[in-house]
Structure 1
């Protein structure tokens, strides 16, 4: 079969032949139609993500959309290594397939699943958002962040605060449901002052896609309010701005901050799958918006490094 293949860590995938998978006990064979590029897929392919197997060669991709042998259309996640989603066929545990609603097309479903799940699971499983609460989304101008704004509103947030460096993209978030936008500027004092104003008004949940300097300033701004602050559930999802931060212990001792993560390992897989199912079935009724660039899988080598944070690259696979 044809697939996007990596032979060693750090390589760009190439469109090549790979042995077709055979399903084992409890597994489903899937004819893949669409698979999206994601930071998680790239990290696992490169061997840098904490959940990567580190075994090569492999087919890249952690999730996608396809058809079971009986013709049913499903979203699937975490194929059995070394098989990935960016191939004509793959195999996954039958329990890791989710039936798709008829009104949601393959490419959109593949594009939405991973970034939409990140905020849906974080808000429902980790933060346990309550109706009317205020949510601050740090790093809201990327694909995941833009969906997080929409999903937070749908799940009942009374106020959504969005941060980001891209001024144009940040302004556009108001049309998606952001009530307040905060530009992430180089002046750390200015950035912290903007955060402090919002924490003074009350922030219940922070979804952090960035980590790095902006996360430091957020945590410090929240802590400086001391006993005047409402308890804050700070949910760490991504680290686009850096893998580490310098966090004084006093930040946690002097505040009502609950610091937690959301992702593979911090939420049971069955709960992650349920979050994806709920989000995909809600996508059309609530009008989730995501920009997509469909690309034939044969062009994977060119498109792998040209991924645009404002649009979701989805590789399409023609059935043969």
Structure 2
């Protein structure tokens, strides 16, 4: 079968031929119709992800949409290695396959599931979000961040605050549900003042896609907002701006900040799958929007190198994501 394949450590994935998978007990065979590039997929393919394999070759992709042998349409996640989602066929545990809502097309589901799950699970499983709380999304101008704005609003946030460097995209977020937008400017004093203004008015949950300098400034500003401030649950999801930060221990001692992460390891796999199920159902009723570009799998190599965070790339196969 045709697939996107990583042949060895440090090698870019290529389009080629791979062995056809055969399901074992407890698995479904899936004829793939759509699979999207995500930061998780890229880091696993490059070997930088903590869950990257040292077994080669392997097929790229951790989730997608397809059809079972009996014709049922499903979203699936974490196929059995060395098989991945960017192939004509794959195999995945039955419990990792979710029946798709009839109203949701394959390509949209493939585009939205992974980035949408990041904030959906963070709010539900880690922050224990309640309607009426205020949510600040740090790094809201990427695809996952834009979805997080919509999801927070859909789930009943009384106020959604969005940060990011791209001023043009920040303006667009107002139409998606952001009440306040904060540009991540280089002027540290001005940025701290903007953060402290929001903390003074009350922020309950921070969803962080950036880490790095802006996360450090957020934590320090939250601590400076005062001991009487509402306790803040800071949920760390991504590290687009840096892998490490440094801040005084007093930030945690002198504040009610709860610092936690969200992802595989901090949330059980069955709960992540449940979060995706809820997200896919909500995508229909909530009308969540995501920018994506459908690309035939045979054009994998050029599309892989050109992918960016502004618009998701969804590889389509067979029925072209119908």
- Please give the range of the TM-score, normalised by the shorter of the 2 chains: over 0.9
Per the alignment, residue 80 of structure 1 pairs with 80
Give unmatched runs, 5+ long, in structure 2.
Answer: none
Per the alignment, residue 41 of structure 1 pairs with 41
List per-residue Cα deviations over 1:48-95 (Å, max 9, x = no partner).
111222322110000000000000000000001110000000000000
1:311 offset after TM fit, Å?
A: 1.1
Contact 1:88 1:319 in 2 (8 A): no
Give 1:211-230 correspondences, 5 Å limit: 211-230=211-230
Distance 2:26 2:135 in 1: 40
Per the alignment, residue 233 of structure 1 pairs with 233
List per-residue Cα deviations over 1:169-199 (Å, max 9, x = no partner).
0000000000000000112222111111101
Q: Does 2:115 align with 1:101?
A: no
Give 1:280-291 correspondences, 5 Å limit: 280-291=280-291
Contact 1:5 1:57 in 2 (8 A): yes
Per the alignment, residue 318 of structure 1 pairs with 318
Per the alignment, residue 187 of structure 1 pairs with 187
SS at match of 1:4: strand
Q: Does 2:66 align with 1:66?
A: yes
Distance 2:253 2:54 in 1: 38
Distance 2:214 2:317 in 1: 39
1:319 offset after TM fit, Å?
A: 6.0
Distance 2:103 2:316 in 1: 18
Distance 1:69 1:138, change over 3 A: same
- The range that moved more, 278-287 or 48-57, is 48-57
Per the alignment, residue 147 of structure 1 pairs with 147
Distance 2:5 2:306 in 1: 17
Q: What value does the CA root-mean-square deviation take over the aligned residues?
A: 1.1
Give 1:1-320 correspondences, 5 Å limit: 1-318=1-318
Runs of 4+ in 1 over 4 A off after TM superposition: none
Give unmatched runs, 5+ long, in structure 1.
Answer: none
Contact 1:131 1:156 in 2 (8 A): yes
Distance 2:251 2:45 in 1: 36
Distance 1:213 1:53 in 2: 30
List per-residue Cα deviations over 1:75-120 (Å, max 9, x = no partner).
0000011100000000000000000011100000000100010010
Distance 1:129 1:92 in 2: 31
Contact 1:21 1:89 in 2 (8 A): yes
- The range that moved more, 215-224 or 301-310, is 301-310
Alignment TM-score, normalising by the size of structure 2: 0.98
Q: How many residues matched?
A: 320
List per-residue Cα deviations over 1:205-263 (Å, max 9, x = no partner).
00000000000000000011231211000000000001111122111111100000000
Distance 1:63 1:316 in 2: 13
